[in-house]
Structure 1
């Protein structure tokens, strides 16, 4: 086999300059949901955890099965006649941290609101069924979740004799639910604050990495160029056994590439994992979450600082340095890109997981949202196309969850909710310019009764977290605008 000259040069460069990376010591750091807020939560006596008897199937009158849904309530700021605020839970466990911190709490103080947060069915501790087998997951859908919320509001109104207006809040997928809840149940929900909500379902969400590219380029054009060069160099190293061993060593791979290189599914997962090192940082860049992990403190500035640091080595070595940074920050000893390991974990039908199986099911049956490598010029390579994700649906849930099925369910979702042509009033849509999910949301005002707020330089759900001295003025202004919209709705 003839070895390309460029490949030999790359290997020689790596051997000569390896000490620059491996002797620099530990690097110091600074995937769809909005985690908890930044500031410590007090053990508030006003916050209560409660359980609600919920219907299993809202659309089959013959099915009388029920289950216990968890929710939180905080009446600290409530005064008689005040509104009721509803925080919608999403694709993870609901957190009581939201009950005493976050922008919506500031609004509650101003408007003397009663606060509720309802956990999404099938996530956290809200278990409608015995397990997560495919037969039981049939009750997991956005339609059922919206009906859960409507049923909850109706029952709570009757139980507590409430007549005030309800305002819904949600970020990310719950941001979509907030808008859809107002659209489908306007007699129950008077207004909705939809933060970072993707309203358009799309199988091949290639625009995700377009926005990631733009975010890196806005930091430095050279940063983005070096990221592409680094991935090109990784691709070159995969062409030869010596290069494969160098990748194993540099990226601390759990399984040697040489043993899995012939199976496209493993290689696709490898490339997808490398790309997500950047995607996760960009999506949550400089947000104000509570209890951030080390990984949560890593920013675009940190990534580009490494990619521009020539003392580390050539771009490939800098990419390896970023991978090492993320491994250390997430307490991983090696990078597990083994496709079979991932599928095995997602096939687990017990409640032991953190929602990965459930959310994957929703993407396979409603939304798609697959963040592929389709977008050109393929800064992160072109090795994780949409077929890679569709195959996961089939491997996890069965052969009927194929490409044709996905096209049908995504079409149905957009038909049912309207996609970006949704017609609804008393909703405000908020998006950040560096949040990749804004590509599937409403970022320009088309209807004054459903305005959009587009915040330059902010990330996913940034407006939901408590204000901080480091917040840019445009983020502070957005929070004021949201408050003004709520005030307007409550006066209607």
Structure 2
């Protein structure tokens, strides 16, 4: 498995990235007061014979508004450091006083500080094989049972207490799955922007990129922005036919490493595509800082910067793109260069890539109808790339359907699936009511997970009403008037 050997050689870089991420996390602590705790959890919940092998799982807690026997609101951590998600889930803090709730944010194993094998967690497939959603959900159920003993008297560990799960995006999937797999663990779940149906055979692979394109078109009345983006791919490819052209792109876009090969150009394509996707996902109506500092409505700002000035040749277009891209890559003006190949510098990206190869296969493809490079979904190539990267073959792509029921959700209860309709992931979301206890709430004119963010004076009525719906659902589950 050569990739793990390569990763070992990069441990110094990974540790540096970890420290830098830690500094960033600590700088956010002033927004919401959180106490850090750790709990020993089994490495493998499904092998009792090895149950003595444990690791420390981190969780964050805020008891400022909690009264005795008050409910517990639990956030099911995503694919990253839990502090980042806690600081961007202001809705839980906003409503805690109303419910006298305890707030708990549980970190996902293999992310943040919850590393089962410490610095060696990513050194081999043997060490990574415990990274999977079934183990994660068992972690969360384990922590919830621990919370019951801490905060409720006369605890029956298998009785349902006033504990509500919250989660956004992948974390939203985990919140819903926790309610589905361990219904005695949480009494209900608020699942925001969760692409529950984003799996083979459930959602057409072309819808995601089409949705990203629609977001850009919304803020581009004369459609010049999406046309320029589509044209940009051919311009890049034509310039990249010569080393002189690749040097020009590298210098103009301030790449940390010069483009030298066709493989480098492919990395550039992926880097650029991810920027467009992240702009669409983070298109909030106020300045934000989830992945990177951004202005309000960053898609609109990007498109205005790209289309408002004149250019008359291909190099002029590349220069124009370079300036516009800084909306995402260097909005604060403090970044020295752009690294288009940071897969091994961020262990969270590595872990998430592993999950997408071994379990969470979410097919995407692009067509002439969107603004991306036309590229079909090729499962065989995807599987081969996974083997090259991680030394493991992909599982049966239909595994999530068997494990979690696919679209057959009618036998479950007490879940709200909210979808922001300007969120690309809504194409794989639950956008219709499933039953009288599995509800869907669609939020017009809103981006990814916006309903779980803090309330803001710029919030529109759609968003205010969505949060009100969540509150009423929680009150119903808790038998409150």
TM-score range, shorter chain: 0.7 to 0.9
Aligned with residue 252 of structure 1, among 244, 251, 254: 254
Aligned with residue 469 of structure 2, among 481, 485, 491: 481
Aligned pair 1:193/2:186, yes or no? no
Aligned pair 1:139/2:130, yes or no? yes
1:452 to partner: Cα distance: 0.9
- Answer yes or no: is the 8 Å Cα contact 2:288–2:295 preserved in 1: no
2:212 alignment partner in structure 1: 212
Aligned pair 1:394/2:370, yes or no? no
**Equivalences for residues 54-93 of structure 1 within 5 A:** 54-64=41-51, 65-93=53-81
1:334 to partner: Cα distance: 3.7
1:430 alignment partner in structure 2: 418
Distance in structure 2 (CA, Å) of the matches to 1:248 and 1:72 = 42
- Answer yes or no: is the 8 Å Cα contact 1:428–1:452 preserved in 2: yes
1:273 alignment partner in structure 2: 271
Aligned pair 1:464/2:452, yes or no? yes
CA pair 327-187 structure 1, distance change in 2 beyond 3 A? closer
1:20 alignment partner in structure 2: none
1:222 alignment partner in structure 2: 224
- Aligned residue for 1:170, secondary structure, equals strand
1:170 alignment partner in structure 2: 167
1:114 alignment partner in structure 2: 102
Q: CA RMSD in A?
A: 3.0
1:292 to partner: Cα distance: 5.9
1:123 alignment partner in structure 2: 111
Aligned with residue 297 of structure 1, among 295, 298, 305: 295
Aligned pair 1:375/2:400, yes or no? no
- Aligned residue for 1:153, secondary structure, equals helix
CA pair 390-86 structure 1, distance change in 2 beyond 3 A? same
What does the per-residue CA deviation read over 1:137-159, in whole Å, with 9 as the maximum and x for residues that have no partner? 11111101101111122232234
What does the per-residue CA deviation read over 1:310-369, in whole Å, with 9 as the maximum and x for residues that have no partner? 3355644432322344443385444444xxx556x27xxxxxx44122111111111123
Aligned pair 1:153/2:154, yes or no? no
Distance in structure 2 (CA, Å) of the matches to 1:291 and 1:248 = 26
- Answer yes or no: is the 8 Å Cα contact 2:96–2:103 preserved in 1: yes
- Answer yes or no: is the 8 Å Cα contact 2:167–2:192 preserved in 1: yes
Q: Say which one has the larger Rg.
A: 1
Distance in structure 1 (CA, Å) of the matches to 2:328 and 2:55 = 39
2:284 alignment partner in structure 1: 286
Aligned pair 1:362/2:362, yes or no? no
CA pair 80-59 structure 1, distance change in 2 beyond 3 A? same
1:490 to partner: Cα distance: 1.1
Greater Cα offset, 325-334 or 213-222 = 325-334
Distance in structure 1 (CA, Å) of the matches to 2:30 and 2:338 = 34
1:28 alignment partner in structure 2: none
Gap runs ≥5 in structure 2 = 1-23, 156-160
Greater Cα offset, 84-93 or 105-114 = 105-114
- Answer yes or no: is the 8 Å Cα contact 2:32–2:87 preserved in 1: no
- Aligned residue for 1:431, secondary structure, equals strand
Aligned pair 1:233/2:222, yes or no? no
Q: How many residue pairs were aligned?
A: 434
Aligned pair 1:308/2:301, yes or no? no
1:438 to partner: Cα distance: 1.2
- Answer yes or no: is the 8 Å Cα contact 1:289–1:465 preserved in 2: no
Aligned with residue 440 of structure 1, among 428, 437, 443: 428
CA pair 253-412 structure 1, distance change in 2 beyond 3 A? same
1:388 to partner: Cα distance: 6.4
2:325 alignment partner in structure 1: 323
**Equivalences for residues 20-31 of structure 1 within 5 A:** none
Q: Please report the TM-score for the alignment, with normalisation by the length of structure 2.
A: 0.81
Aligned with residue 181 of structure 2, among 173, 176, 184: 184
- Aligned residue for 2:330, secondary structure, equals helix
CA pair 287-51 structure 1, distance change in 2 beyond 3 A? farther
